[in-house]
Amino acid sequence: MSEVANCTIYESPLSKRYASKEMLYIFSDQHKFSTWRKLWIMLAKAEQELGLNISNEQIEQMESNWDKVDLKKAAAEERLTRHDVMAHVHVFAEQCPIAAPIIHLGATSCYVGDNTDLISMKSALKLIIPKVAQVIHCLTNFAKEYRALPTLGFTHMQPAQLTTVGKRATLWISDLLMDERALSRCLSDLRFRGVKGTTGTQASFLQLFNGDGKKVKDLDLRVAQLAGFEKCYAVTGQTYSRKVDLEIVNALSSLGATIYKIGVDIRLLMSRKEIEEPFESTQIGSSAMAYKRNPMRSERCCSLARHLMSLQSNAANTFAAQWFERTLDDSANRRITLPESFLCADALLMTMLNITQGLVVYSKVIERNISLELPFMATENIIMAMCKAGGDRQICHEKIRVLSQEAGEQVKRFGRDNDLVTRIKNDKYFEPILPQLDEILNPQTFVGRAAEQVDEFIEDEVQPVLTRYAEDVANIKNVVLTI
């Protein structure tokens, strides 16, 4: 199909704009249908090993054609048969006439369908999880660099006690560590459906092996091993439980929520001009307002994450709606939900990696923003200092209250700078503590153990995880967003 013709057909933005080539291949038709053929070869090999009359020539013929998938011919066949698996069985059989009698022997459609999905999700998780570690690595470097830089903390989106830029980044990292743990658990828990037959009883395979249950059990495990799995699900219906899909989509959706939260924080900080995501020299922020530097990458993260989070309910409903051994109302849904969950997560991580590799901190803006609020936050410290110098707390409290109200009026009504410190310096009552005032107002004295918490958190919680991904972190590359 030509490029012009392609413009007349809808293409998912996930494949056209956002996801990586590696992830796109995992969920491509070529990978899917060639994996079906590999599974038929694995089944034949295992059945041959366990004594069925399958020749080496039959297996060799399948092996020489496994990657020669004729998608057009299979599509034409499916239009006739209304059955995707049998369409591909027929096309493969035409290419392998000697092997035709034993292709798909004893199996049901879910043998190739479900097992391929499990293989694909395993590969996709292995692609996703190291990218989570790479984002953690970049944010860890950021947290180290700004471990002690004071910044306004916010509660209820109102200025609160100071924290540090690095400490705030550890909150993002902490959530990502939970995502790494959840996704790694999904990967380690993932098993193979194996060869279970039409309702999961393995009746067809028991018949093939003349009632030898041990051989059927061995066949199940052997095919799993050939596919790269250590275990099969002990019991299944016609399909593996869609609870497996739900657990994985849950973990991906949770990752989406984490990235959404980080993206929102960055967007808010950009509005305050304290932090800025990467902005390229030729990048245009607005078609109308040439001066603008919009948080395009963080907004993309929030946009894609919102879609990813919505897929969790889809997976939950699909699992809940499966009747007895299976119904087919999961099929069309899963064709959309599973690939989109991974493609979306992949796109989010690449975008977040690009952001975290190039975050810019404007310390002077942060310092100015602190100066507007710190005098109010320091009033309790000033009262305590006056009491230590022999002052009466109630008198001091009233003095501070009046001066604070006057300074607040200047800020809110007239848009002027906070002049509370100047008012305190000009009031003779506070002369006993004036030599201490600069130290009392030093932002570093308001951040508690934030810097030490950064160091301890990285050493105790982050580094052990990053050590497991040392090779992925060492080979990290600068991510350039193509669009």
Asked if residue 266 lies in contact with residue 298, where contact means CB atoms within 8 angstroms, the answer is yes
Q: Which of 2, 156, 271, 281 is catalytic?
A: 156
pLDDT, tens digit (0-9, with 9 covering 90-100), for 389-432: 998 999 999 999 999 899 889 888 998 888 988 999 999 999 89
CA gap 246, 318 in Å, rounded: 8
Domains within the chain, CATH numbers bracketed: 29-102 (1.10.275.10), 109-365+462-474 (1.20.200.10), 379-440 (1.10.40)
Beta-carbon contacts of residue 339 (< 8 Å; ≥ 6 apart): 27
The pLDDT of residue 273: 95
Q: Note if 31 is an active site residue.
A: no
Tell me the mean pLDDT in the region 435-454.
Answer: 92
Contact 226, 144 (CB under 8 A): no
Which of 58 and 436 is assigned the larger pLDDT? 58
**Mean pLDDT of all residues in 258-274:** 97
Residue 326's nearest CA partner among 78, 86, 114, 119 is 114
Q: What is the pLDDT of residue 2?
A: 42
Closest-CA residue to 117 (of 244, 11, 234): 244
**Shortest CA distance to 176 belongs to which of 260, 248, 247?**
260
> pLDDT-based confidence at 479, cuts 50/70/90?
confident
- Exposure class string for 454-473: b at 16+ Cβ within 10 A, else e: bbebbeeebeebbeebeebb
Of 306, 315, 326, 228, nearest in space to 263 by CA: 306
C-alpha distance from residue 428 to each of 377, 424, 433, 434 (Å):
21, 8, 10, 10
Sign of CA dihedral 350, 353, 354, 355: positive
Tell me if 341 sits within 8 A of 313, measured CB to CB: no
Q: What is the pLDDT of residues 221-258, one digit of tens each?
A: 999 999 999 999 999 999 999 999 999 999 999 999 99
- Whether residue 419 contacts residue 410, with contact meaning beta carbons closer than 8 Å, is answered with yes
With cut-offs at 50, 70 and 90, classify the pLDDT of residue 477.
confident
Q: 323: closest CA among 249, 244, 247, 239? A: 239
Question: Where is pLDDT greater, at 3 or 227?
Answer: 227
pLDDT tens digits, 269-320 = 999 999 999 876 555 555 555 555 788 899 999 999 999 999 999 999 999 9
Work out the pLDDT band at 379, boundaries 50, 70, 90: confident
Could you give the CA distance from residue 421 to residue 369 in angstroms, rounded to a whole number? 15
Q: How many Å from the N-terminal Cα to the C-terminal Cα in the chain? A: 23
Distance CA 138, CA 141 (A): 5
Is 20 among the catalytic positions? no
What φ, ψ does residue 360 adopt, rounded to 5°?
-110, 135
275 phi and psi, to 5 degrees?
A: -135, 150
Which of 55, 286, 313, 363 is the catalytic position?
Answer: 286
Rounded-to-integer distance, Cα 355 and Cα 67, Å: 38
Which pLDDT tens digit goes with each residue over 13-55? 998 889 999 999 999 999 999 999 999 999 999 999 999 999 9
Residue 288's pLDDT is: 54
